[in-house]
Structure 1
Amino acid sequence: MHHTALSALAGRFGHPVIDGAPPESTATFADGSRFRVEIPSCEGPDVFAAVLEEAAARDVRIDRVSQGSGVMMLTDAEIRRMAALGAQARVEVNLFIGPRGAWDIGGQAKITAAAGGAARGNATVSACVNEALRAVDLGVRSLLVGDVGVLDVLGRMKADGTLPADLVLKTSVLMPLANAPTGALYQRLGATSLNVSTDLPVRDIAEIRAATTAAVDVYVEVPDDQGGAVRFYDVPALVRSAAPVHLKLGVRNAPNIYPSGRHLAALAADLGRERVRRAELVLGLLADLAPELAGRPAQDGVPDDLGVPRV
């Protein structure tokens, strides 16, 4: 079977291969923005406060912070404080849920990164559900999911009203998403924000965009343990082809801080501030290279698709 036949076969199921330059995406977030800025690894209220302070000083508009240590590593008081900060600043607060394979007693996840987010056994799935309910009860409206089965359960809980209908379900980078059929599957299961694999060319991300309506999340600087790319010059093409897209700022040459805590407080806050500086660099480059893409509507209330906490 030659290449043309293979392309036709993929297209038959709604996933044609993009040849040549990716098409422009005309889709946007609810407020008309083509992109938003996400600061990951925001591991608690003190880090969040540092991120907001740095963003104000640098005039960088932050739309979402995400946390990787998980709900179970935060006290109720810490979650409430993060929710209050997010509500006041109109910033989405996205918390990772559940125990995960990488922290479990099993050995596979220690050697296979793809198993790191897996929920091993139904008791762990139940723990993830419990954390989702706890976070929502404390005002959180955005959760980070690392297991496809857990995503399915949470999606069904949204559908039956157990969880809020406007709850953002964001897939983790630990859930491999390297092609359009996988992205479409995740969305059918309930995902509203799709973290794509960190090493995809723009064309492959454009194929995922063509198959989904959920927001796409792209690391434009990738942590070392997820590949370590620095993709600042890809940002104009990403905004043009993958909108609506979250531009995520990791930091290379930085230690993994999961699970975080007081022993890493200063480092986590410094990393948060540096991610904001990286965002300033990316947004400046976008304005220089593609000024027609850099503009954003003024913030006027809270858009329907932004998971700002309810306090």
Structure 2
Amino acid sequence: MTSLADLHALMARLGHPVVGAAAPAGSRFADGAPYRFEIPSVEGPDVLEAVVAEADRLGVPVARTSQGSGVMMLTDDEITRMARIGADRGIEVNLFLGPRAAWDTGGQAKLTQAVGAAARGNAMVAACVAEALRACSLGIRSLLVGDLGALEVLRVLKSDGTLPSDLVLKTSVLMPLTNGPTAAIYERLGATTVNVGTDLTVPQLAEIRAATSLPIDLYLEVPDDQGGFVRFYEAVEIIRATAPVYLKMGLRNAPNIYPSGGHLGVVPKELGRERVRRAALVRRLIEQLDPELAKPSQTSDTGVPVI
């Protein structure tokens, strides 16, 4: 029978060691910061304006916002307004590509979130490409991808010049990433920043960091439909093990607002403001627990819209 030590030695030989205790990652963003804040579910320009205003009020350095309803749920004017705000503030504005299986006529995605963001059929992959082309033409330089095949197609379109070479391709939390080998695959297929599983331990996160140099995106507070965890007191350990890392501030006890729109009234804006407030709470805690940890910057060096 193969011993545990033998199994661990085999994984190490394959380039994916099993981490027992997480050591400091040692990597940083280009500006030297080990972590940045990302505010998710910023569903349109009005929400983005509310998030920016709240970040200014609380002194929270927001480097990236992400949107979940998809490019197809925004007008050209709304995308342009978001791009302009991002360009003016040096904030990466990330938009989800759609359509997706969960909103389609199929049945499997209604039963499990595991395939909720998948592209059903080649026509849906083509729709993702159309969304990418439209968003980029309006200045967006960061897209959220929920399908593995779509990711590979977008990589090819970046390499042949159809899409901008500086386009950020961010994998969705709906594309499971829970180990180092999978992270390496995502990087080979064109990902430039990767969402990881919401329930991973710090050693497991360190194993993913060992497998890729890409920025890691991690929910520090997790929406209920993704587990509902609140990991504020793990923030310092997570940063040390996974830097460079985007700390994503989701919300527990909050409604799912996808697809968003005017019918939801002020709810998306209020949720955006509260996510910024959560980031302020986390920043204070990080500074208390590790005063020597380098602070995050206000701006991003990638994915900022081009206007």
Using the size of structure 1 for normalisation, the TM-score is 0.97
Q: Distance in 2 between matches of 1:250 and 1:296?
A: 18
Q: Distance in 1 between matches of 2:268 and 2:221?
A: 17
CA shift digits 1:151-204 (9 cap, x unpaired): 011011111111111110000000000000001100111101100010101111
Q: Distance in 1 between matches of 2:182 and 2:15?
A: 12
CA shift digits 1:61-106 (9 cap, x unpaired): 1000000000000000000000001111110000000111111111
- 1:188 counterpart residue number: 188
Check conservation: 1:113, 1:174, Cα contact below 8 A.
Answer: yes
The one-letter code of the counterpart of 1:193 is T
- 1:223 counterpart residue number: 223
- 2:263 counterpart residue number: 263
- 1:214 counterpart residue number: 214
Q: Distance in 1 between matches of 2:143 and 2:297?
A: 25
Distance change (3 Å), C-alpha of 1:193 and 1:113: same
Q: Map of 1:1-311 to 2, 5 A cutoff?
A: 1-19=2-20, 21-296=21-296, 303=301, 306-311=302-307
Please state whether the residue corresponding to 1:65 is helix, strand or coil: strand
Check conservation: 1:287, 1:294, Cα contact below 8 A.
Answer: no
Which stretches of structure 1, 4 residues or longer, exceed 3 Å deviation after superposition? 296-299
CA shift digits 1:235-261 (9 cap, x unpaired): 000111100000000000001000000
Q: Distance in 2 between matches of 1:47 and 1:249?
A: 15
Q: Distance in 1 between matches of 2:123 and 2:176?
A: 23
Aligned length: 306
**Offset of residue 265 of structure 1:** 3.5
Check conservation: 1:221, 1:250, Cα contact below 8 A.
Answer: yes
Check conservation: 1:239, 1:293, Cα contact below 8 A.
Answer: no
Q: Distance in 2 between matches of 1:33 and 1:112?
A: 37
Please state whether the residue corresponding to 1:293 is helix, strand or coil: coil
- Unpaired stretches in structure 2, ≥5 consecutive residues: none
Using the size of structure 2 for normalisation, the TM-score is 0.98
RMSD across aligned positions (CA): 1.0
Identity %: 61
The one-letter code of the counterpart of 2:107 is G
**Offset of residue 296 of structure 1:** 3.9
Check conservation: 1:286, 1:294, Cα contact below 8 A.
Answer: no
The one-letter code of the counterpart of 1:192 is T
The one-letter code of the counterpart of 2:12 is G
**Offset of residue 3 of structure 1:** 0.8
CA shift digits 1:101-153 (9 cap, x unpaired): 11111110111111001000000000000000000000000000000000011
Q: Distance in 1 between matches of 2:265 and 2:278?
A: 20
The one-letter code of the counterpart of 2:94 is N
Please state whether the residue corresponding to 1:163 is helix, strand or coil: coil
**Offset of residue 45 of structure 1:** 0.2
Q: Distance in 2 between matches of 1:37 and 1:73?
A: 25
Q: Distance in 2 between matches of 1:38 and 1:195?
A: 12
**Offset of residue 295 of structure 1:** 2.4
**Offset of residue 298 of structure 1:** 7.4
Q: Distance in 1 between matches of 2:297 and 2:271?
A: 28
Please state whether the residue corresponding to 2:93 is helix, strand or coil: strand
Please state whether the residue corresponding to 2:144 is helix, strand or coil: strand
Please state whether the residue corresponding to 2:95 is helix, strand or coil: strand
Q: Distance in 2 between matches of 1:264 and 1:169?
A: 29
Q: Distance in 2 between matches of 1:115 and 1:297?
A: 35
Check conservation: 2:224, 2:254, Cα contact below 8 A.
Answer: yes
Q: Distance in 2 between matches of 1:124 and 1:107?
A: 16
The one-letter code of the counterpart of 2:304 is V
Check conservation: 2:141, 2:168, Cα contact below 8 A.
Answer: yes
Check conservation: 1:249, 1:279, Cα contact below 8 A.
Answer: yes
Q: Distance in 2 between matches of 1:296 and 1:40?
A: 17
Q: Distance in 2 between matches of 1:308 and 1:194?
A: 17
Please state whether the residue corresponding to 1:247 is helix, strand or coil: strand
Please state whether the residue corresponding to 1:292 is helix, strand or coil: coil
